[in-house]
């Protein structure tokens, strides 16, 4: 077994454990709550995080996009010039869908 196989299997097994235990549900719920709070109280902080992530080296930025794809899509939607109501509906829908697909820790 090669090093890449071991890393991929370990990463896959680790993510599977986080999903099945409900830890990823809790993590994404907290991230979406923080996103919502930032939309209400500090929209500039979303812009600052977006800029910070965009300034990362492309490989690290790609990993962030891969690991946090729904939230990154939410930030991308927020950065568009689309009407505010459309952006809010899309972000709330994306957050709801994200939390819907993860197994809940109480099941």
In a domain, residue 49? The reply is yes
Range of the structural domain that residue 91 is part of: 30-101
In a domain, residue 69? The reply is yes
Q: Rounded distance, CA 68 to CA 74, Å? A: 10
In a domain, residue 84? The reply is yes
Structure confidence by residue, pLDDT tens digits, 26-83: 999 999 999 999 999 999 999 999 999 999 999 999 999 999 999 999 999 999 999 9
In a domain, residue 23? The reply is no
Q: What is the average pLDDT across 71-97?
A: 97
**pTM given for the model:** 0.85
Domain count, the chain: 1
In a domain, residue 76? The reply is yes
In a domain, residue 15? The reply is no
Residues ≥6 apart with Cβ < 8 Å to 70: 28, 94, 95, 97, 98
In a domain, residue 17? The reply is no
């Amino acid at each position: 077994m090669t090093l890449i196989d071991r890393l991929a299997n370990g990463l896959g097994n680790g993510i599977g454990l986080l999903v099945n235990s409900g830890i990823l549900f809790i993590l994404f719920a907290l991230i979406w709550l923080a996103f919502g709070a930032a939309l209400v109280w500090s929209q500039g902080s979303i812009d600052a995080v977006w800029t910070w992530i965009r300034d990362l080296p492309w490989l690290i930025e790609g990993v962030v996009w891969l690991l946090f794809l729904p939230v990154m899509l939410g930030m991308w939607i927020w950065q568009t010039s689309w009407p505010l109501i459309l952006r809010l509906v899309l972000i709330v829908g994306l957050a709801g869908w994200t939390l819907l697909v993860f197994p809940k820790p109480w099941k």
